[in-house]
Chain A
Amino acid sequence: MVETGHFALVLAFALSLVQMIVPLFGARLNNQRLMAVGGPVAVTGFALTALSFVALASAYASSDFSVASVWENSHSLQPLIYKITGTWGNHEGSMLLWVLILTFFGALVAAFGANLPATLRANVLAVQGAIGAAFFLFILATSNPFLRLNPAPIEGRDLNPVLQDLGLAVHPPLLYLGYVGFSICFSFSVAALIEGRIDASWARWVRPWTLVAWMFLTGGIAMGSYWAYYELGWGGFWFWDPVENASFMPWLAGTALLHSAIVMEKRSALKIWTLLLAILTFSLSLLGTFLVRSGVLTSVHAFATDPTRGIFILCILTLFIGGSLALFALRSSRLTAGGLFHPISREGALVLNNLFLTTATATVLVGTLYPLAVEAFSADKISVGAPFFNLTFGPLMVPLLVMVPFGPLLAWKRGDVFAAAQRLMVAFAAALLAMLVTALFIDGASVFAALGVGLAVWLILGALTDLAVKSGFGNVAAGIGVRRLLGLPRSVFGTAFAHLGLGLTTLGIVGTLCFGTEKILSMHPGETVELSGHTLRFVGLYPAQGPNYSEDRGRFELIGVSGSAIGEISSAKRFYPVRQMTTTESGIKTLWFSQLYLSLGDQGKDGSVVVRLWWKPLVTLIWGGGLVMMAGAAMSLMDRRLRVGAPSRRRGQASAVTSAGLP
């Protein structure tokens, strides 16, 4: 089975070369038969990669330690779920997952791209094939997951205990679906540059793919953030770690792309900019892959690294980013610029959104790469952390967030800010009230807290105002309003939900940062501690045995007003003997949207134990907001105008006529 997988991977590499070359020449020579090769090759390439992936996963599931990567990252005593997720919990396997998703998207274009112009489809598949070929070669040459060991070891070295968690089952696949999903936008852009023209079907295709990739990337980042929050035991949801930034940059650029693609689709303006943004977004995804996989940066994600890999990925990076930007420089002047618009209009607002988001992306990029540059050009080593990003990213985001509710209320071509402001009066008044209440009753000391709460309320109510205005609440009877609301295009709901999610995430961040409290203390069994109105009693430490670890579980009781226990929280120190590693399992109690978070430290000689306790108000909204944003993207995807492309609509009408003609 392992050799089958290895062989399938080599075949998939060979097919990706065919996919890269044949359709490209077909499009050049306008040869239908050569162009038609792309589709079946892409689908077969995906099938072979999937076979290869299944082969590796089954080697992991059956603990076949004759495979080097299984031996290094698995253990026979691990629960089955972690054996399987361990497939991509290491460098080699995660790269295989990367190409699996890449070929999956290629196969989707092949399967659903029948209504694309033949040359565009051929070129898209060729570019997709080229990316695939580069990464297949990378895997086979430097990170082959199928290498055998002889003689086979009897027992494996265990998966890194931090990764033995359900988060590993969800976070990497979602994140890669996002990262790699942008490859489609990239391929479409490069194909348009090769052809030297952008037509209507280009715009209709790029936006849904952006939405899909953005939706998964949002989920991947939110899930990764929550995983780090509960698994690392530090109680933080975002560390401005280079690897987090690596996923955040494509997200910011992708968000900009999502917005500029709307302008392009509706008004056929900003074509060249959208194309450039699509190239940049995937370039940032590639950069992220490089940063994470090359080990140039210190991070929890940097698996054992090998310098040849870094250089190889750097070559891929240079080839694709450099190549596509050079092509852009050569060809973009041929593309025709689109419609004009007044600065104060929906288009203008979306341009402003793009200006802020790309600038924010640039500051994150500078902060992430600056330490590398300093290290390359001088002997100094520096680190750029949260203080830098708070000072640069923060001031850029705040005005953007203030402007968000205006955007959807402005008309295309020429908008009226005063009319939009009038409609937002209720939201504005409520935000002002929330600020006053926060300043007077909750936390008078912090101006930021009040402003933050006001901003979050403004965003949330602004999103709802958009829906209310568009369904005419206040002007028509409630019944008609409800009917109109349900009849609104799904994309209007998509916008409102995405902006609502943004508001919820903001509220969560403000709540946690401004109103959170924490205590570090050493406790004996029987002692109680009080934090922000919650009383906890330390019951004691209880040793326990897991399948591949032993643990000391500290149990705590949450004491109610009456003095009796109303809930339990437990946190544990786990010891994994195979890797000689200790991990902390944090204890979390969710109370409405807030959480009590507890993490166990070292034991003292006198039977006491160090305990770190946090009260995190509204913290779950940070990730809940992410889910709402994903829901928004899903609603936009279900919009009629994306489901029904122009060619298939004609076909649909034709069949409707025929069926109506039948008795």
Chain B
Amino acid sequence: MTRKQKRLSVIAGGLAFLGAATGLTFYALGQKASYFYMPADLTTASLQPGQRIRLGGLVEKGSVERGQGATVAFSVTDNQKDVKVSYTGILPDLFREGQGVITEGSFDAHGVFVADSVLAKHDENYMPKDVADRLKAEGVWEESKSE
């Protein structure tokens, strides 16, 4: 190979590499990004069973049931609709009834949302941002100004 051909092949190799990485990134974004929904959105959203999403809202008061072992069931609500969630594991320390929560997982065949992770935050300052924004937008949010 001549010097020029060598240089061209190096450049082509580099570009092919970058192209492959870009392609992989966009493929992964299409496949692996999970969308955020509140319960009321689910009527309009067309979800495949097993598709991973994030479901956020408030933990409905009085809905938390501790089942056998470490499985917990509760409802996530946005005061319009509510969704039953089942989770096996240890709930975060900040998980409370009436507080904001984000769960990640997918719906099973019976329409129960099976979460494999639960995020909860404490007060206004630590509320999951996605949930706080939506609750504010829908007027459900009570502005409890903390000094």
Contact = CB atoms under 8 A, between A and B. Distances in A.
A88 B61 CA distance: 37
The 4 closest A-B pairs by CB, nearest first: A381-B36, A601-B90, A387-B32, A388-B32
A387 B27 CA distance: 12
B34 interface: yes
Nearest to A582: B93
A601 B90 CA distance: 5
Nearest to B122: A581
B70 A384 contact: no
Interface string A370-403: 1100000000111111011001100110000000
A38 interface: no
B17 interface: yes
Residue among B27, B32, B93, B94 facing the most chain A CB atoms (10 A cut-off): B93
30 contacts: A233-B90, A233-B93, A298-B129, A343-B6, A362-B25, A363-B21, A363-B25, A366-B25, A370-B33, A371-B33, A381-B54, A382-B33, A382-B36, A383-B34, A383-B36, A383-B104, A387-B32, A387-B52, A391-B27, A391-B28, A520-B70, A520-B89, A521-B69, A522-B68, A581-B93, A582-B94, A599-B90, A602-B66, A602-B91, A610-B90
A326 interface: no
Interface in B20-53: 21, 24-25, 27-29, 31-36, 52
B89 to A, nearest CB: 6
A592 B88 CA distance: 31
B97 interface: no
A584 interface: yes
Nearest to A162: B93
A381 B94 contact: no
A295 interface: yes
A413 interface: no
B18 interface: yes
A392 B25 CA distance: 6
A304 B125 contact: yes
B7 to A, nearest CB: 9
Contact of B32 (A391, A600, A601): A391
A460 B18 CA distance: 29
Contacts of B54: 381, 383
B90 A381 contact: no
A79 interface: no
Residue among A233, A362, A385, A583 facing the most chain B CB atoms (10 A cut-off): A385
A385 B34 contact: yes
A371 B54 CA distance: 13
Interface string A463-484: 0000000000000000000000
A367 B88 CA distance: 28
Contacts of A297: 129
Interface string A573-601: 10000010111100000000000000111
A355 interface: yes
Interface in A581-638: 581-584, 599-602, 604, 610, 612
Given A295-B129, A343-B10, A520-B70, A384 B33 contact: yes
A359 interface: yes
Nearest to B30: A388
Interface string A314-352: 000000000000000000000000000001000000000
